[in-house]
Amino acid sequence: MVKFYFVFLIIFFLIVYPSKVRGGESASVPAFQWQIGEQLQYKVKWAFIRLGTLTMHVKDTIRYNGKSLYQVILKIDSNPKLFFVDMHNQYESYIDDQFTIHRHISTEKEDGNPFFADHRFNYEDSTVYLKMTDPQNHRQMIEKQLPMHTKLFDGITMAFYSRANASQTMSDTLTTFILENRGLVEINFSGQEQMVEVEALTKPVSSYYIDGQINVEGIAGVTGPFKGWFAANQTRPPLQAKLKVFIGHVTVELEDYNVLPKN
């Protein structure tokens, strides 16, 4: 269950609250711009083997508990040619323009086993209300109330928070979650631009470089140092990431980018 989800959390480079050091952003750098209909597709590679595909879609804006939120959907599919993994998962997040998560829904299927989880974040009582499949009995649901002592980020929210701040020079410490578990990740934004070449683009492009340190061991053995690059433009999509998981070092690379019409 969720074998590659923690990998995704790190892949998209993660900025967190509260920050240790915050640098200013140059007035010449345009503010991050959301794009309704945006769809990003990534390939996950281990050496020359393609492990799977990640697709993230900014589907629409909706009203939720009186707030206008962005509805973002992430799909993770393993390579059908690989016999040792069979994964088809979807994650849906509702995010406000301050990059605060209000609801996160997981619908997973790994090796034929279904799993569902629904996180609802109540900031008035600092509580996360979690409804999820019972890990001991997939035919039953259980409900839990979890304290929220600090701001939490799921992988999708972290991706967009990172994009919005990619051009800054600062260091942060992230608090992230997977179901009931939480952990910390340090991330350093250099503010430096480097040229990066990825399959989705016809030529190398300027990008903002980051690196960091994962101080916990996540699912799939994610831990230790990582590197990442964001496009140096107004939408700042993640272009590439390099990190270590249980099978070794993997690369995540943008292979397709487009803006779809609203449904």
pLDDT greater at residue 218 or residue 176: 176
pLDDT tens-place string over residues 215-239: 766 555 567 788 889 999 889 999 9
Torsion-angle region of residue 130: left (phi > 0), alpha (psi -120 to 50) or beta? beta
pTM of the model: 0.84
The yes-or-no verdict on residue 114 having pLDDT over 60 is yes
- The position carrying tokens 């600090």 is 150
CA distances from 157 to 74, 164, 177 (A): 11, 11, 12
- pLDDT at site 135: 86
**Nearest of 198, 204, 193 to residue 29 by alpha carbon:** 193
| Chain segment 33-60, per-residue pLDDT in tens | 999 999 999 999 988 899 999 999 999 9
214: helix, coil or strand?
Answer: strand
Which of 7-11, 56-60, 112-116, 242-246 shows the highest mean pLDDT?
56-60
Name the most confidently modeled range: 28-37, 69-78, 164-173, 243-252.
69-78
- Cite the beta strand spans of the chain per DSSP E: 19-21, 38-46, 49-64, 67-78, 88-95, 101-110, 113-122, 127-134, 137-147, 170-178, 181-196, 205-214, 224-231, 238-245, 248-259
DSSP string spanning 9-57?
A: HHHT----SSEEE-----TTSPPP---TTEEEEEEEEETTEEEEEEEEE
| pLDDT score for 20 | 29
User: pLDDT-derived band of residue 173, with 50, 70 and 90 as boundaries?
Assistant: confident
78 with 46: CB under 8 angstroms?
no
At 126 the pLDDT is 96
Whole-number pLDDT of residue 229: 93
- The answer to whether 93 and 103 are in contact (CB under 8 A) is yes
Residue 176: pLDDT band with limits 50, 70, 90: confident
